[in-house]
Amino acid sequence: MAVKSLGNERSARRQMAVNMLSGVCVFTLNLCVSFFLTPFIVEKLGTDAYGYIGLSNNIIGYSSLLTIAVNSMAGRFITVKVHEGESEDANKYMSSIFYINLLLSAIILLALAVVTAFLPELINIPEALVGDVQALFAMLGVSSVLGLMTGVISVGAFIRNRLDITNIRNVVGSFIRVILMLLLFGLFVPHLWYIGLTVIVMDVYIIGSNYYFYRLLTPELHVKWKYFDFKYVKEVTAAGAWNLISRLSEMLSRGFDLLLANLFINANAMGILSITQIIPMMILGFFSMLSGNFAPEFTRLYAIKDFNGLKAELLRAVRVTGFFSCIPLSLLFAYGDMFFKLWLPTEDAALLYRLSCLGSLGMIFAIPQEPLWAIFTITNKVKKSSINLFLNSIAIFATVLLIMLVCTDDITKLFVLASVRTFYGSIRVTTFLPIYGAVCLGLSKWCFFPVIIKNAINIGVVTAASILFKIFFLDVSWIGILAGCVFTTAIGIGVSTVVLLTHSDRKYLVTRIKDRIG
């Protein structure tokens, strides 16, 4: 049994390394896409129009309030039943969720059609952009509904811990979208709704690949009407009900930023805020994805009741995530001013840089702990987490709204929108998350604090060294930024290896790199 357990551990860690490597490839591709396409789209459509891309996504995201309770815990229940060998129960969960999602999709599609028709009365849209914004909104709405209708079939890659397949699929989908976008903007008169059309085309590819791998990886799972049982929907919904509160909380703390900028400032300010959120949101999205690579193994260890192994993997996940997060955050803090000046020369680079940094400061504490959020899902203890997030978000929204109402300076309003969430969020991830996460697993309340402190020190040291390097050695040019990236990457790896990683972590990473090269 010991040999078998060791083999399983090595296999799981090897697969996790593959998942992470493929995730890095996805992040690199998305970074390149944003790097080249954002200034291209801003040039073709203008800053005002660019802001409506993010705003439309946010408004459509509000519809997830109808579905989050059902879908947020679906993967957890199906995965646990598969690992427990209860295939029939897994099929009942899967089929029940699939059919209830079809009903919800019809309701959401009808609601989005009504909102699209009255969109000019709901938000501020320049007259010249009304048709484009409505078309964009309608297409992104269709994309959202397609994802909801077919989302449950993506569970196969999660169950088999083959998230590298998901990442590769995303890479191909992104390539398809970029090529189509370049063709549309290059050959025809630029329109905002081209963005929505390319998203739908990418969705069709992703849905097809999801179905293929679902049948390949989990042949024991089937979506059939005979398996539908409303009691399974009720069970999953009850477990995910608190995630509904969490989703509402995220909207209050983050999802209304662009809408508030549109309503209380103007379309141009909304566009500026949308641009400043690109890099921070990409960094956060990447590490959310990276942390998701740990979730299948966390879920497996919890299902087989290997709590010592789960603790060890959680600590390793926080250290590894902190190791990788140091470099992109340090690059943003140190060279962001140079980057914006070269990337968007027609915009106010200093303003973009300050807003981006303010929106990213909380990530110093939040990103390394991203894997810890899985604790509440796998232990099915999301209630207190959801309540805490809701109270935190109410504080953020109330503070922002109050200042929007009393403040008259537009620049001040922008800085408030960028900074208030960072302030309250930092408090939450340095108190509630590590303490209650440890309590849920029966660990010491202070179990995760040493690595949190080390992460903050690590990012501070690497950022300070990078700023000094910039001041003394770099000029404002792409070559200068490239030299800075090389310097920060080298020193970041060196310092992080010493400060954050244990001997077993270093050995683990070296072995995985050798395996990949081999």
pLDDT (0 to 100) of residue 3: 36
Alpha carbons 460 and 470: distance in angstroms, whole number: 15
Mean pLDDT for 335-352 is 92
Q: Residue 310: pLDDT above 70?
A: yes
Q: How confident is the model at residue 300 (pLDDT cuts 50, 70, 90)?
A: confident
| Amino acid making up residue 62 | Y
The answer to whether residue 460 sits within a structural domain is: no
Domain region containing 124: 9-251
Coil/strand/helix, residue 33: helix
Higher per-residue confidence, 273 vs 487: 487
List, for residues 375-430, the tens digit of each pLDDT value: 888 887 877 887 888 888 889 889 999 999 999 899 999 999 989 989 998 999 99
Residue 176 lies in a domain: yes
**Is residue 247's pLDDT more than 80?**
no
In a domain, 494, yes or no: no
Do 483 and 473 touch, CB atoms closer than 8 A? yes
pLDDT at 517 over 60: no
Q: 357 falls in which pLDDT band (50, 70, 90)? A: very high
**501 φ, ψ to 5°?**
-85, 145
- Is the pLDDT at 491 greater than 60, yes or no? yes
Neighbours of 515 (CB within 10 A): 11
Q: How many domains does the chain have?
A: 1
Average model confidence (pLDDT) across the chain: 83
Q: For the whole prediction, is pTM greater than 0.85?
A: no
Answer whether residue 138 is part of any domain.
yes
- At residue 10 the predicted structure's pLDDT band, cuts being 50, 70 and 90, is very low
Q: What is the mean pLDDT of residues 479-488?
A: 96
C-alpha span between 29 and 171 (Å, rounded): 7
Q: Classify residue 25: in a domain, yes or no.
A: yes
pLDDT of residue 176: 86
Rounded to a whole number, what is the distance in angstroms from the first to the last CA of the chain?
29
Query: Residue 216 to residues 211, 213, 221, 227: CA-CA distances in angstroms?
Result: 9, 5, 10, 21
More confident residue, 59 or 434: 434
Q: Which of 8, 7, 10, 28 is nearest to 290 (CA)?
A: 28
In this predicted structure, what is the pLDDT of residue 8? 45
Instruction: Confirm whether 109 is domain-assigned.
Output: yes
What percent of the chain has a predicted confidence (pLDDT) above 90?
24
In this structure, is residue 350 part of a structural domain? no
* Alpha-carbon gap, residue 187 to 197, rounded angstroms: 15
- The answer, yes or no, to whether residue 67 has pLDDT greater than 70, is no
Answer whether residue 5 shows pLDDT above 50. Answer: no
- The answer on pLDDT for 518 being more than 60 is no
Q: Is residue 245 part of a domain?
A: yes
For residue 468, what are its two tokens? Answer: 């000094």
